[in-house]
Amino acid sequence: MSSASPTPTEGTAPTEGTAPAEGTAPAEGTAPAEGTAPAEGTAPAEGTAPAAGVTPAAGTVPAGETAGGTRRRRRGPRTWLAALPLVAFTGLCFGLPLGALLYGAVTRTDPGTGATALTGEHLSRSLQGPYLGSLLGSVQLSALTALIASVLGVLIAQAVVTSRSQALRNAVLTASGVLANFGGVPLAFAFIATVGISGVVTQLADLSSLGWNLYSFTGLAVVYLYFLIPLMVLVILPALDGLRPQWREAAQNAGAGGWQYWRHVGIPVLAPSLLGGFVLLFGSAFAAHATAAALVGGSVPLVTLKIADALSGNVLVGQENVALALGLDMILIAGLVMAVHLPLQRRSARWLR
Amino acid sequence: MLGAAVLTTATACGAAPEGAAGADGDGAKAATAASAKDFGGMDALVEAAKREGALHVIALPPDWANYGELIKTFETTYGIEIESENPDAASADEIAAVKSRKGQKRAPDVLDLGIAFARSGAEEGLFAPYKVEAWDKIPAAQKDEAGRWYNDYGGYVSIGCDAKRIPNCPKTFADLLEPEYKGKVALNGNPTKSGSAFGGVYAAALANKGSFADIQPGIDFFGKLKKSGNFIPVESTPATVEKGETPISIDWDYLNAGYADQFKDKGVDWQVAVPTDGVYAQFYSQAINKDAPHPAAARLWMEYLYSAEGQNLWLKGYARPVLLPAMTADGTADKAFVAKLPAVTGTPAFPASAELDKAKATLAEKWDKALS
């Protein structure tokens, strides 16, 4: 019947299920309800997460000394104690669902006898035919929207920073905080009412004859940008603030032009934050379900929609384990994206303090 | 030791739900009763159900086939409170609820399932066999021999159309391809998920030289509809119908006919036609959870649904109850409601289980490609 209920998918894919609880802590209530998981604990956690209480010392070590390695090792046990609540929480909220997911994805239970056996069937099915198509579709949509939103978000944030207007800054930050959380079904319906088939603007401007179609890949990308760009602004604004004016002055004194400053100072320093922002946006778009479900139903193949179909449908019987396998695929992809980001983040986080 | 004790009191009911109303022996008896006779007649069944005092149902939308009134009438007739959970849930959710809440008080007592889920659930041994009083009148093709599930109500795939917005309402699948319907034709959801949308594709297959064993022409039809720009992937709901977002909606005739009633006062002239070129009917099935926390109330609910009163209430919601042929013959069907049903030519045929499975597999494989 109604496919607008997001709960089934969120329950199964740990990336989503645990996001809301955590997303609020590190990102100061700015992260959207959906899909903040992948970048969690990496980019925004730095400042506020419980473990951060012990990190400031680590920041001074590499800056002042070359032999920081030995010191870090000595502080080990105490760090572990402080981080214990976080570790326990993560283990409970990520580990348990992940274990259940893994178990379901590689086993099969015979309905008659109740016997359980190992099988690779679900995983291989999740990487074939329409399921593979949905994975690729999701990656494509997420990468594209994250890229566009990253670029536009940085430009907007930079404009706000250089304007030095406190009023503008407050306005943009507040608006971004609200809009970044404005996802899901309400957003979809806002767009349907405005530029849907019988939407107000569609009727007034006769958009249909211009080839506009909200219920397509392009339409979905536009809707995603609506909450991804504000998210990028929120993430990148502090990093842009961290670029000290002295660096630019120093560069200018040394005879560098604007482009050279960005090429050799600005962008390298910002790189981890930019990449972190991109990863966050990618995860946000990758895990989004309700918006897409309300907007395009099954006509744009997305992995979250496929999981929902398999878990909660009236048509296909016995697809639960394929849904779990798809969830596992999602985690692997999110993990891969994060793996690119982590080393870079560690390397130059020290510049932005 | 505990196992032995349970075995002696009641076979096949290892998980006699705790907290079920009534004495232990009584609860066990209700949980294994295969007909009203096992209680000692209908009166005793009503008595036992009243003692339990509640019935837990799932996935019964009040605006679907008149379920709202069915629930209310049952509550007032027997004084049994119905706890309705997640009205918009799907068959898969119902089965999941049965499995995950085995032995809990919150488990659903009765289920209204898509036929494939009824069959697979029976195979997994999730349902209690029970034969209602009207058992013999249910056609043999529409029930499980052991009484683990039987069809309850169904309808035809129909085309609903907002006559205020569409000057010339389509009557057949062939009509839908006309350029005048650009950006106007919707299904009730994604056919790999929604039963009614699946029915729409199946009917389109029949309209395009396909068969129960061959759903491909139906998929191709919607592919063509998408390419021409006529098809919109918006899932039609009462809201989209009312707002004119889905001016033409392929859906069960009982839902479409219900919308016509619902929105008459709101200026929507919703017309319903069962397409003559693709006649497809499908029934849902009713079953009792084997570990129902309210076993007697569950059985009373079944008796109520398959009584003339229950069947007529479905009929009032434009759904075609399974006993309609028998009730038309013996004169208990409400003639006013029968007269209001959308007209259908010919008699419905039903796909065999294997044909249905094959069609679904083909659909799951090909639908995305055809629509993108």
Q: Do A1 and B92 touch (CB under 8 A)?
A: no
Residue A12 in this model has a pLDDT that exceeds 70? no
Portion 331-360 of B in contact with A at CB < 8 A: 360
β-bridge partners, B159: B250, B273
Q: How confident is the model at residue A168 (pLDDT cuts 50, 70, 90)?
A: very high
Strands A116-118, A107-109: pairing is antiparallel
Q: What are phi and psi of B161, to 5 degrees?
A: -150, 130
**With 0-12 CB in 10 A as exposed, 13-18 as middle and 19+ as buried, what is B235?**
buried
Residues from chain B contacting residue A296 (CB–CB below 8 Å): 233
How far apart (Å, rounded) are the C-alpha atoms in residues B167 and B175?
13
Q: Do A130 and B365 touch (CB under 8 A)?
A: yes
| Ranges in chain B, pLDDT < 50 | 1-25
The stretch A345-351 carries a mean pLDDT of 63
Q: What pLDDT is attached to residue A75?
A: 57
CB atoms within 10 A of CB B309: 15
**Distance from B65 to chain A by nearest Cα, in Å?**
13
Residues from chain A contacting residue B227 (CB–CB below 8 Å): none
CA-nearest residue of chain A to B189?
A297
Structural element, H or E, at residue B159: strand B149-162
Q: Do A314 and B190 touch (CB under 8 A)?
A: no
Q: What pLDDT is attached to residue A255?
A: 87
The stretch A14-24 carries a mean pLDDT of 36
How far apart (Å, rounded) are the C-alpha atoms in residues B270 and B257?
8
Closest to B191 (Cβ–Cβ): which among A215, A296, A315? A315
CA-nearest residue of chain B to A131?
B365
Q: How confident is the model at residue A349 (pLDDT cuts 50, 70, 90)?
A: low
Closest CA to A326 of A311, A307, A308, A312: A307
Residues from chain A contacting residue B189 (CB–CB below 8 Å): 1-3, 297-298
Those residues with Cβ within 8 angstroms of residue B91's Cβ, 6 or more apart along the chain or in another chain: A313, A314, B59, B113, B114, B116, B117, B195
CA-nearest residue of chain A to B112?
A314
Q: What are phi and psi of B149, to 5 degrees?
A: -150, 155
pTM of this prediction? Answer: 0.76
Residues from chain B contacting residue A213 (CB–CB below 8 Å): 183
Portion 61-100 of B in contact with A at CB < 8 A: 61, 64, 88-93, 96
* DSSP, res A266: I
Those residues with Cβ within 8 angstroms of residue A345's Cβ, 6 or more apart along the chain or in another chain: A42, A43, A272, A275, A276
Q: What pLDDT is attached to residue B49?
A: 94
pLDDT in tens, A179-219: 998 888 889 888 988 888 778 888 888 887 788 888 888 99
Q: Do B371 and A313 touch (CB under 8 A)?
A: no
B139 to chain A, any CB pair closer than 8 A? The answer is: no
Q: What pLDDT is attached to residue A112?
A: 67
A164-183 core/surface letters (b: 16 or more CB in 10 A; e: else): eeeeebeebbeebbebbbeb
Closest CA to A224 of A151, A304, A295, A131: A295
Q: Do A317 and B183 touch (CB under 8 A)?
A: no
Chain A residues with at least one Cβ partner in B under 8 Å: 1-5, 8, 111-112, 129-130, 133-134, 192, 196-198, 208, 213, 215, 296-301, 305, 308-309, 311-320
Residues from chain B contacting residue A1 (CB–CB below 8 Å): 59, 61, 64, 88-90, 188-189, 194-196
Quote ipTM for the complex. Answer: 0.76
DSSP, residue by residue, A130-190: HHHHHHHHHHHHHHHHHHHHHHHHHHHHHHHHHH--HHHHHHHHHHHHHHHT--HHHHHHH
pLDDT in tens, B86-99: 998 999 999 999 99
Contact by Cβ (8 Å): B33, B130: yes
How far apart (Å, rounded) are the C-alpha atoms in residues B4 and B14?
10
Amino acid at B280: Y
The stretch A240-262 carries a mean pLDDT of 87
Average confidence score pLDDT of chain A: 76
B47 to chain A, any CB pair closer than 8 A? The answer is: no
Q: What pLDDT is attached to residue B14?
A: 39
Q: What is the length of chain A?
A: 353
